[in-house]
């Protein structure tokens, strides 16, 4: 994956941001695409939105970053952090599928619409589907807001994310 040139994002990226965490993780966290900090550092969610998200995860679910497998739908930073195109998402999908196969998580949390739609294939917006439970075989998944929206939207989005994280916590407790 680290030498992938399947799409044009390879021309402008610094690093392919593959993912982080143990392949034995029960929970997989999927975001949209690397931002500037991740492109420079080579790991997912190490910038401001990651800091916020992992603080919330610790408080609401009791898990640390190191206990989860963390990745993105698209592994290379889109220029100026634009949303990845449907073509880029499809071109990168085999890498995500391989990660899902290898980690085989029991639970998936998606952050934001791009990740939620890519994994759960819903058509509506995150406002309608956040906190709902999607089931596929042995996997249970919950979409929530992207932490960048919480950084922009302030305390009300944070509160909604806390509620969605509570859904995942209860699923993990009862599994």
Binding residues (CB under 6 A) for ligand URA: these are 31-35, 38, 44-45, 47, 49-50, 72
Which residue has 């992207």 as its token pair? 146
Residue 42, number of CB atoms within 10 A of its CB: 15
Burial bucket for residue 151 (CB in 10 Å: 0-12, 13-18, 19+):
middle
Which residue has 């593959």 as its token pair? 18
Least Å distance, CB 49 to ligand URA, is 5
**Cβ atoms of 132 and 112 closer than 8 Å:** no
Of 43 and 129, which has the nearer Cβ to ligand URA? 43
Least Å distance, CB 138 to ligand URA, is 26
Least Å distance, CB 10 to ligand URA, is 17
Least Å distance, CB 137 to ligand URA, is 25
Of 37 and 135, which has the nearer Cβ to ligand URA? 37
Of 31 and 143, which has the nearer Cβ to ligand URA? 31
Of 35 and 116, which has the nearer Cβ to ligand URA? 35
Of 86 and 138, which has the nearer Cβ to ligand URA? 86
Which residue has 């391989």 as its token pair? 98
C-alpha angle 90/20/145, rounded to 5°? 60
**Cβ atoms of 106 and 68 closer than 8 Å:** no
Least Å distance, CB 35 to ligand URA, is 4
Query: What is the rounded CA–CA span in Å between residue 35 and residue 72?
Result: 11
């Amino acid at each position: 994956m680290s030498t992938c040139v399947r799409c044009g994002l390879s021309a402008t990226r610094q690093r392919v941001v593959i993912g982080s965490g143990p392949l034995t993780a029960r929970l997989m966290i999927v975001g949209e695409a690397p931002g500037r900090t991740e492109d420079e550092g080579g790991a997912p969610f190490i910038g401001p939105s990651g800091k916020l998200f992992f603080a919330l995860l610790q408080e609401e679910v009791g898990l640390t970053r190191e206990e989860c497998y963390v990745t993105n739908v698209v592994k290379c930073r889109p220029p100026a952090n634009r949303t990845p195109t449907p073509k880029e998402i499809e071109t990168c999908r085999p890498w995500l599928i391989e990660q899902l196969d290898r980690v085989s998580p029991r639970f998936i949390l998606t952050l934001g619409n791009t990740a939620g739609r890519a994994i759960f294939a819903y058509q509506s917006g995150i406002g309608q589907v956040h906190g709902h439970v999607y089931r596929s075989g042995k996997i249970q998944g919950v979409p929530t807001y992207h932490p960048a929206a919480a950084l922009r939207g302030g305390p009300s989005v944070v509160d909604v994310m806390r509620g969605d994280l509570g859904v995942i916590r209860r699923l993990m407790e009862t599994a």
